[in-house]
Amino acid sequence: MSLNDNSWFTEAYNDFTAFSVRYSRKLYDETSDFQRIEIFETDAMGRVLILNGCFMVTEKDTFIYHEMLVHPAMALLETPRRVVIIGGGDAGAVTELVKYSELESITLCEIDPRVVSSCREYFPALSSGLDDPRVQVLYEDGAAFISRFQEEFDLVLVDSTDPVGPGVALYEMSFYQNIKKSLKKNGAAVLQTESPLFMADVFENSVKNLRSVFGNAGATPYLAVIPSYPGGMWSFTMCSETVDPTKGAPRNISGNLRGDLRYYNGEVHRAAFALPEFVRRML
């Protein structure tokens, strides 16, 4: 078997490792003002979204990423009403959030409208939350957007790409400071913070910078396994000055949701925050 023929798509990471999937056809290929967007039909992973040559969404495992981005924080916040998502144009996070009837406002701030439109066409289930009347979609730079608010949001989710191109601004200290300023007193933020195995420098710097903004006890990383991302082990960091995700059991959210969960539950929540020794030593 050869991976060099035209029926395979391969994401090579730093010329050291690669993840490949055989596809049956290419459904979409466009270079927008910000990035190249490709969508493939595959047997093993379902439809996959590729941005600038990197796996962003696969129908096979994207539920893990989006549930772990959204639900750990939602399970801890007492009365969340207003949520903003920075990035996340595939709208998977939106579709998880609309399951909560108590939310009054969900804002998706995505810089690239072509990501949103292509995902609405080719991933209709994933982006179905955009039809909810509580959802507002804004097409602008997320770092500039969040800088305009003070004590406005109960939850800020940063569903960013890797720190290249337009995603660089979402890893800067000023962005983290503006996130903190935008949160209500008892609010929280969750950011995807890359792979501790394959992107150790980005992970370590992100968490340390977040701790410099929110305090050492206010930025807590946690992990999930997402097979289509480099290394498989992926990190998120929850930030809050009042909510400690490692103490106390998360509320039983299953009865409050409009829809099912496939990955997240209370046991997964507690396990996700139990960091391996090598990750603890990095921090």
The verdict on whether residue 43 carries a ligand-binding annotation is no
The verdict on whether residue 132 carries a ligand-binding annotation is no
The verdict on whether residue 269 carries a ligand-binding annotation is no
The verdict on whether residue 159 carries a ligand-binding annotation is yes
- Active-site position among 159, 201, 244, 260: 159
Specify whether 132 is catalytic. Answer: no
The verdict on whether residue 66 carries a ligand-binding annotation is yes
The verdict on whether residue 232 carries a ligand-binding annotation is no
Residue 103 is encoded by which pair of tokens? 């939310």
The verdict on whether residue 141 carries a ligand-binding annotation is yes
The verdict on whether residue 88 carries a ligand-binding annotation is no
The verdict on whether residue 133 carries a ligand-binding annotation is no
Which residues are marked as active site?
159
| Binding-site residues from annotation | 35, 66, 90, 110, 141-142, 159-162, 166
Annotated binding site for spermidine: 66, 90, 159-162
